[in-house]
Chain A
Amino acid sequence: MTYIWNFQDVFNNWYALAIGAAGTLRLFVVCLVLGMGLGLVIALGKRSKNRPIRWLATAFVEFFRNTPVLVQILWFYYALPIIAPIEIGPFLAAILGISLNSAAYSAEIYRGGIQSIEPGQWEAARAIGMNGLQTLRRVILPQAIRRIIPALTNRGVEIFKMTTLASVVAYVELLQQGKLIASLSYNPLEVYTVIAAIFLIILYPIVRLTYALERHLARSD
């Protein structure tokens, strides 16, 4: 039996897909900023001299690295309102699940980057009178972040793909819209092919760019 591809229904629904793409992008940007920002805070927490802070940061990382994002999103959406007096919409539930998970992973990346900077850099900065925060901001992080840009970009790509998990709570993003179209037009093959293609078209250039950046950074060292 040969299947006859028919993309007509998909293309007729381009507007729904566009809304989905906007939803994906919105979720991605928020999770990228929150995940990477919180990741840095957690990484600094893991390096803190204060033992309870260190312990909390470690617990955070271990908890969110070792539980599935899908379960977290479902938990925030369906379970949290039961124990806390807050309603959480699909958008917020997805943000929490994806951002917290990304923060846990990027915290480890930041930590590795910070640790890779020679102790002499800390000493030189401290020796001209900088405090710990100034040393981080002016000397350590600028160098560490250059080294971890490839790893952080990988995380970014990962976050982009994770946005599809939000469809589990019916957040309007690409996959969710695809599911809708597929159920109305009975054309899952075409719909999911197009969805996969959209991700590929967006992500592939970004990944190529990362490789180029990686080569560029390797050369300037």
Chain B
Amino acid sequence: MNAPVLRLSGFGKHFGSLRVFSDIDLDVMPGDRIAILGASGSGKSTLLRCINVLETPSEGSLELDGDVVGQPSRSGDMRFSERELCALRQRVGMVFQQFNLFPHMTVAGNVAEGLKTVRGVPAQKAQERAVTELQRVGLADKADTFPSRLSGGQKQRVAIARALAMDPEILLFDEPTSALDPALVGEVLGVIEQLATEGRTMLLVTHEIGFAYHFATRILFLAEGGIYESGTPDDVLKNPKRPLTQQFLAEHRRFQF
């Protein structure tokens, strides 16, 4: 019945002699929400960035809706054509820890930019769509503001709207709340939660374990250069089977009250 939206097999990445991860097999089904956990340096960001090829994967294969993207290369990293990359990234949206909004464009301009420049949507139509997406993240009234006037939480919500405007099949989040004041984390997680209820397919790297528990349909714990443990949030977070997972969670619980 259901085919995976995203399939990684034998997926690996190394920087020169530094092997970040290797031999990762992963099927992401439509509507899956996968939280990726792991210690600092375990390769969470690298894995996410290899999926939309902001970082070029070294080996294995990457399939979107059954279409293979990229070619293995005998010398060095995999190879991707520019066209392939642009097509892939329109289907796989990304939200960054540091927001990375375009400071010289208005909020609506940021959201409309991909539609205008990449899809060739007329300015007027793109603007309307941008406002619709901004409504979704509760920021329609900020459409004509410049990003420098926004709080961190608002910036991240605009970044989410910018990704949504391209109608991606998958959304990637790399620690979307780590750069935020604790008081602003909630509004961003709220938006992500709402996307979850809409049934969107998402991969989220986070240190907010509590949120991961409620958000995810599946947890991946990265360690030792691969998926060290995976399963439902209850399995992995409540009854971790393997020592590094247990240790990681114990460390996170240390200061709970």
Contacts and interface: CB of A to CB of B under 8 A. Distances in A.
Interface of A: 118, 120-121, 123-132, 134, 138-139, 142-143, 146
A121 B52 CA distance: 16
Contact of A128 (B82, B87, B90, B103): B90
Interface residues of B, number: 26
Interface in B164-181: 165-166
B89 A139 contact: no
B47 to A, nearest CB: 15
Interface of B: 52, 54, 82, 85-87, 89-90, 93-94, 96, 98, 100-104, 113-114, 117-118, 159, 162-163, 165-166
Nearest to B86: A129
Contacts of A130: 86, 114, 117-118
16 contacts: A120-B98, A121-B102, A124-B96, A124-B159, A126-B54, A126-B85, A127-B54, A127-B93, A128-B114, A128-B162, A128-B163, A128-B165, A134-B117, A138-B113, A138-B117, A142-B104
B104 A129 contact: no
- The residue in A124, A138, A146 that gathers the most chain B C-beta atoms within 10 A of its C-beta is A124
A217 to B, nearest CB: 12
B52 A127 contact: yes
Chain A interface, >50% SS class: helix
A143 B54 contact: no
A91 B181 CA distance: 62
A192 to B, nearest CB: 45
B114 A146 contact: no
A128 B82 CA distance: 13
A146 B87 CA distance: 31
Contacts of B85: 126, 131
